[in-house]
Chain A
């Protein structure tokens, strides 16, 4: 067959027509597309037109489609509007729970299974977002960041105390923030290294760790003049000043002799932000209730309820 022959030839081996062209001795079979493929292709073309008519299609056409800069399609579909609508619906759905929460006491919250479920769910979400970074998502705390599950509270563990702490923060920029400052006895050279050692021995003895009797009695003298005004003469601390009890097993900055000495040396200055301007009032309610119900919440009047 010559190179420029226009007639169709049929390939003897496959029985299929060739395209009639030859390139360097290679001929191409003119295999038709499968019917099913063609039908799907045609259906896709039809679908494209339908979709174009129904849905937003042409961008950057200012003025052509009202206020938007693209065609809106017959369905006037807008993913952005859908999201806004979904968010509104969500807010509306949550509003029911938050409305019930407004003005409810912790007792009322605990006694209403529905409200309790809502508070635990809403509070957990906010806690993980806002508080987990420092206190851990389970509220277990780290050195310098209190464990919120236990029964030890620096500034009070009642629902109202917790809520107030959340509102104003600790040593934050809030004008009414909870504030106190422990002197950096070592760094500011208020006490010598030996004196810090002796007062540490005394502090350890408050929670039952024995040391040299002489050191303890010398330490007690220093304690009475330097520490007792905040931590109280018996070492039980003072929540009004955020001064922790030194008599229990819980040590925010570590309970070894070295760690306690280090704390006295530098004077811990833990900071927690105020959440008043960042969270809704009812969100604060839910968050406070959630923290309270982690197990360590205290009755406003009686002692710890969390055992």
Chain B
């Protein structure tokens, strides 16, 4: 800060900022225009972690559509693909059919439980580090910083009248933002069709209309949410801060200002004693770096996404004034109270709440894993004709019609046997191609096929209004079987 006056110096080399917590609930007015926030670049371990997570998250998002996975001929070779046209979801070795959507449900339940557990242990780590809103906003602020400089330069530029210098910086920033936004929207559609084909078709103008619509919508939302709305998304639009209130508790680690150490706060000259005062020199660097525009010293608040950047800023200052770091730190509410009372901190990570989350997560994971391991490539469903319920033949026999659906999830054609469990007197007839006999059902790769099957029970074998039966298909080569139970209605009293 070149224009800092000696008055603003808290200690040699330490700038004091006139930062105001513009997004704090007290200063925010419902109908007032949004006060822009100019987050200053922080340096430190949490900033570093955020850079790493940002690079990972963006890398995963942009590159995954281009990963290939060989599934043999006729099947798509994209590792992760949501194929709506053919009703398949491909995820590396997994291929999920629409009726197996419970895998996705299970995954969402696991994600929710994981989030609960993380919240109970470490507060809003999701919001601060991994949420797309945080990642993209961070990226957009980085671009903003490249064009317009850090906090003070940006504030100065915004106050300055329009000039060529201001114009190219603003235009450049928005141009890069739009390119990133377009890349975000563009990458999204790559998850739904083959990535390389979609890329070629997209720019040739021959991609599906929905591709352009979704790319356009996501370009727009990325640009506005990460570029112009930023903290407003978290403060006004996102339900998670509200849910968070139910998830966190006095024993969760949250980004916390150590009120026991900091107060009473105030400016400090190098020669002054640290007796009878707090460590906080009121330099307001924690506010200057905050992307949410709040003052962490006001305590836990809905607006705080707990990104830890104020910890980096404060640790930096504490180092310079020669006080221990950690004035702002990950700490539990309970421990802050203990510090005030002069007691030792305790960290009860294992407590009923975390155990319930952990055990639930383990159970759901085990169920999912079990379902995944025992997943078969063969499925059988049967539906008995209801109209007519049964047909009485001239010789007194009774016939029921069934639609038997065989699903071959394997990527190869298979030959199967169809057997009927129940009264051995039952005659089986499969309507279809000539070689579709009970001994031999052919089904193509990755297909679901319906067969019309007629079962006939001779009149002499009828006793009772219905008989329990079951269809069983068996793969001749692998021995894999699938079963579907049903009944045969005789119409007898």
Contact = CB atoms under 8 A, between A and B. Distances in A.
B111 interface: no
A112 B388 CA distance: 26
Given A120-B452, A138-B387, A295-B401, A113 B394 contact: no
B396 interface: yes
Interface string B428-469: 010111100000000000000010101010000000000000
B399 interface: yes
Given A116-B431, A120-B452, A295 B391 contact: yes
Nearest to A113: B433
Most A-side CB within 10 Å, residue of B393, B395, B450, B456:
B393
A294 B252 CA distance: 68
B388 A140 contact: yes
A140 B392 contact: no
Most B-side CB within 10 Å, residue of A113, A296, A305:
A113
Contacts of A147: 388, 391
A306 B385 CA distance: 16
A150 B452 contact: no
Interface in B393-446: 393-397, 399, 401, 427, 429, 431-434
A150 B387 contact: no
Contacts of B432: 110, 113, 116
A293 B431 contact: yes
A150 B431 contact: no
Contacts, number: 71
A306 B399 contact: yes
Interface stretch (A44-52, A57-65, A243-251): A243-251
Most B-side CB within 10 Å, residue of A112, A116, A147, A151:
A151
Given A136-B388, A147-B388, A295-B454, A110 B431 contact: yes
A112 B393 contact: no
A11 B18 CA distance: 40
**What interface size band does chain A fall in?**
20 to 34
Contact of A139 (B388, B393, B394, B454): B388
Contact of B392 (A110, A139, A249): A249
B394 A307 contact: no
A111 interface: yes
Contacts of A293: 431, 452
B390 to A, nearest CB: 9
Contacts of B434: 107, 110-111
A307 B397 contact: yes
A151 B392 CA distance: 9
Given A138-B387, A140-B387, A295-B399, A116 B392 contact: no
A120 B450 CA distance: 12
Contacts of A306: 393, 399, 429, 454
A187 to B, nearest CB: 29
Interface string A166-208: 0000000000000000000000000000000000000000000
A274 interface: no
Contact of B388 (A107, A149, A245): A149
5 closest Cβ pairs, A-B complex: A138-B387, A140-B388, A248-B394, A149-B391, A307-B456
Given A136-B388, A138-B387, A306-B429, 11 more contacts: A110-B434, A113-B433, A136-B387, A138-B385, A140-B391, A147-B391, A149-B399, A250-B392, A250-B394, A295-B401, A307-B456
Interface of B: 385-388, 391-397, 399, 401, 427, 429, 431-434, 450, 452, 454, 456
17 contacts: A107-B434, A110-B431, A110-B433, A113-B432, A120-B452, A138-B385, A138-B386, A139-B388, A140-B388, A147-B388, A149-B391, A149-B399, A150-B393, A245-B394, A295-B429, A295-B454, A306-B454
Interface of A: 107, 110-113, 116-117, 120, 136-140, 147, 149-152, 245, 248-250, 293-296, 305-307
